[in-house]
């Protein structure tokens, strides 16, 4: 996914939801015990990012170095790099091999899709935690029409409008639309925590039923429905099942997103099919028109109070609705679809010891807060918070970032400085920046307590939100405006999980958008 998430500003919900306060802290709605099944992890842990120099103090004055790398001949170079990126090497190895080749974390390369979709695939690649943040500085870079990188999907997929994610803060519409999203979430902030609890209680009930019937349960399908229900109920007060949309929302969204992102996705299909059908041409928008209309009608009927505010701000109801749909379905639903499985993956791999520590911390704090999960209670769970931050660090939900230089400038890696010319396209692969071994010790490892105590100082290097974790989204920047919402619901997921279960076991596979999680056991809360 790309950067601008659904906006959530000054998130301080007043409403609370009650959790069980019995001796065992077990919800009464789950009467049976699921027999544990031994997990197996089918996805191999990622190979370490190559480090070509030891951790040493940086020089006071960095030498200027010509940016290494060669984008090759027109058409031939981009096409060869596309094959390497998707098939011959894979994404991570594509970047690692070039770090080794050029002995630099800054170099020139091509980014997919290239021919025949993107005419200018040449980028300056930034792969360390020092150079990467220039992509956030809108005084130095422009973000116009770069949400998906070197190409832009057809405007027919968004009602003919360039929606907020594609706008640069210098454009007048950016401020209006971002203020509108702030209004939406300010208006509905009290609904977030109770609706999340309700929607994800349904998810866990579904998982338990599947485990009892089949011995395993897919997290993806249940999470997709729970995430869509949660967003619709909390932000618009509308239950999709009670509307014409029914339970079709997640499937419609996935098809619509595919039409936008297919040129930069690997779907696991035979190479020749992916190359011809998805990477060399755009899928025709008319094929998804009726499905998109169903989504549009649902949001138009559900968001009257937001559309009224849009008109007050000088935005038409039609443009506002397309933006609300995009922010909710692409950014927020897409983020939960991508990131929540990663949370399960990393916590699941960490094992029973961490599970027990989380369960003890979460249940103890909830009991001491009268059996309620509140914002204040969440802040009293340092291990839980650190675990969520570590998930953002090691597997950020927005892996690709693009920006265009507004002016001639110099950017710095840890060892060298590089001259960038006005108009050059900059690209950063975020998982490398947030696993920079010059910043994080044991950078390739999931360290659950990394951000506890003194470790909180490292939060400035957690960059998942298109900005530093220590910074805040504003109307005038492109930091994920829904940063607070994303952080909150990710914490709530972990809390809900360990209020109900002592431990869980998983199998991990791959999907086009990240990890695929199959649960093989859920051990009900016993203390």
pLDDT of 31 higher than 80: no
pLDDT in tens, 466-492: 899 999 889 999 987 778 899 999 999
Position 185 scores a pLDDT of 87
Confidence of residue 58 (pLDDT cuts 50, 70, 90): low
Confidence of residue 236 (pLDDT cuts 50, 70, 90): very high
The rounded distance, in Å, linking the Cα atoms of 208 and 215 is: 9
Position 480 scores a pLDDT of 78
pLDDT of 360 higher than 70: yes
Least confident piece of the model among 33-37, 198-202, 391-395: 33-37
Position 50 scores a pLDDT of 54
Mean pLDDT computed over 388-399:
95
pLDDT of 48 higher than 90: no
- Provide, rounded to the nearest whole percent, the portion of the chain with pLDDT above 90: 84
Cross-strand pairs, 428: 126, 401
pLDDT of 386 higher than 70: yes
pLDDT of 53 higher than 70: no
Position 44 scores a pLDDT of 45
CB neighbours of residue 316 within 10 Å: 12
Both tokens assigned to 239: 């239950």
pLDDT of 215 higher than 60: yes
Mean pLDDT computed over 282-294:
98
pLDDT in tens, 426-453: 999 999 999 999 999 999 999 999 999 9
Confidence of residue 358 (pLDDT cuts 50, 70, 90): very high
pLDDT of 400 higher than 70: yes
pLDDT in tens, 298-321: 999 999 999 999 999 999 999 999
Position 184 scores a pLDDT of 94
The rounded distance, in Å, linking the Cα atoms of 41 and 43 is: 6
Candidates 132, 83, 85, 78; CA nearest to 105 is 132
- Provide, rounded to the nearest whole percent, the portion of the chain with pLDDT above 70: 89
Position 472 scores a pLDDT of 87
CA distances to 33, 109, 211, 250 from 225, rounded to whole Å, are 24, 39, 18, 6
Sequence-distant (6+) residues with CB within 8 A of 408 are: 419, 420, 421, 422
pLDDT in tens, 69-117: 999 999 999 999 999 999 999 999 999 999 999 999 999 999 999 999 9
Mean pLDDT computed over 190-205:
97
Q: For the chain, what's the residue count?
A: 527
The rounded distance, in Å, linking the Cα atoms of 226 and 209 is: 15
Position 3 scores a pLDDT of 41
pLDDT in tens, 316-335: 999 999 999 999 999 999 99
Position 59 scores a pLDDT of 52
The residue with greater pLDDT, 315 or 35, is 315
SS (H, E, C) 379-410: HCCHHHHHHHHHHHHHCCCCCEEEEEECCCEE
Mean pLDDT computed over 145-174:
97
Position 152 scores a pLDDT of 97
Both tokens assigned to 377: 């209670």
pLDDT in tens, 514-526: 789 999 999 999 9
Position 43 scores a pLDDT of 43
3-state DSSP: the chain helix, strand, coil percent, rounded to 5? Answer: 50, 10, 40
Confidence of residue 511 (pLDDT cuts 50, 70, 90): confident
Model confidence, pTM: 0.89
For 4: left if phi > 0, alpha if psi spans -120 to 50, otherwise beta; the answer is beta
Are 266 and 274 in contact, with CB atoms under 8 Å apart? Answer: yes
Position 483 scores a pLDDT of 85
Mean pLDDT computed over 374-380:
97
Both tokens assigned to 360: 């003890």
The residue with greater pLDDT, 313 or 39, is 313
CB neighbours of residue 443 within 10 Å: 20
The rounded distance, in Å, linking the Cα atoms of 436 and 143 is: 24
The residue with greater pLDDT, 14 or 226, is 226
pLDDT of 29 higher than 60: no
Mean pLDDT computed over 277-303:
97
């Amino acid at each position: 996914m790309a950067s601008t998430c659904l906006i959530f500003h000054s998130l301080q919900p007043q409403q609370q939801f009650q959790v069980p306060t019995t001796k065992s802290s077990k919800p009464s709605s789950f009467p049976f015990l699921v027999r544990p099944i031994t997990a197996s992890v089918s996805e191999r842990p990622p190979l370490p990012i190559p480090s070509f120099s030891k951790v040493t103090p940086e020089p006071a004055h960095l030498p200027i170095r010509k940016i290494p790398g060669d984008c090759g001949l027109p058409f031939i170079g981009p096409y060869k790099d596309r094959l390497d990126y998707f098939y011959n090497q894979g994404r991570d190895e594509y970047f690692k091999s070039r770090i080794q080749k050029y002995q630099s974390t800054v170099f020139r390369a091509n980014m997919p899709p290239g021919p025949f979709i993107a005419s200018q695939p040449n980028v300056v690649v930034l792969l360390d935690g020092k150079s990467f943040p220039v992509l956030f500085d809108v005084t130095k870079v422009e973000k116009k029409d770069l949400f998906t990188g070197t190409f832009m999907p057809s405007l027919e997929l968004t009602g003919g409008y360039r929606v907020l994610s594609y706008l640069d803060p210098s454009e007048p519409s950016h401020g209006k639309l971002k203020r509108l999203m702030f209004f939406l979430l300010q208006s509905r902030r009290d609904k977030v925590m109770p609706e999340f609890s309700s929607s994800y209680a349904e998810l866990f009930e579904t998982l338990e039923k599947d485990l009892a019937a089949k011995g395993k349960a897919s997290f993806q399908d249940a999470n997709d429905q729970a995430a869509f229900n949660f967003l619709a109920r909390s932000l618009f007060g509308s239950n999709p099942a009670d509307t014409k949309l029914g339970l079709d929302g997640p499937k419609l969204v996935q098809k619509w997103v595919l039409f936008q992102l297919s040129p930069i996705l690997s779907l696991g299909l035979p190479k020749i099919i992916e190359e011809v059908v998805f990477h060399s041409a755009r899928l025709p928008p008319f094929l998804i028109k009726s499905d998109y209309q169903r989504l549009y009608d649902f949001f138009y009927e559900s968001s009257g109070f937001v559309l009224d505010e849009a008109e007050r701000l000088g935005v038409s109801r039609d443009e506002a609705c397309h933006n609300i749909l995009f922010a909710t379905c692409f950014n927020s639903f897409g983020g939960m679809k991508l990131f929540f499985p990663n949370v399960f993956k990393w916590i699941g791999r960490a094992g029973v010891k961490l599970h027990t520590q989380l369960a003890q911390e979460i249940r103890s704090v909830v009991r001491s807060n009268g059996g309620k999960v509140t914002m204040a209670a969440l802040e009293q769970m340092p291990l839980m918070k650190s675990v969520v931050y570590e998930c953002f660090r090691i597997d950020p939900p927005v892996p690709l970032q693009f920006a265009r230089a507004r002016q001639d400038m110099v950017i710095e890696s840890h060892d060298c400085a590089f001259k960038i010319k006005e108009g050059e396209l900059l690209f950063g692969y975020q998982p490398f920046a947030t696993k920079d071994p010059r910043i994080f010790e044991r950078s390739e490892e999931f360290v659950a307590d990394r951000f506890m105590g003194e470790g909180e100082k490292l939060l400035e290097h957690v960059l998942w939100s298109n900005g530093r974790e220590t910074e805040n989204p504003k109307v005038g920047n492109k930091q994920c405006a829904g940063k607070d919402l994303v952080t909150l619901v990710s914490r709530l997921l972990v809390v809900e999980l360990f209020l109900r279960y002592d431990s869980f076991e998983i199998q991990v596979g791959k999907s086009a958008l990240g990890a695929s999680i199959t649960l093989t056991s859920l051990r009900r809360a016993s203390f």
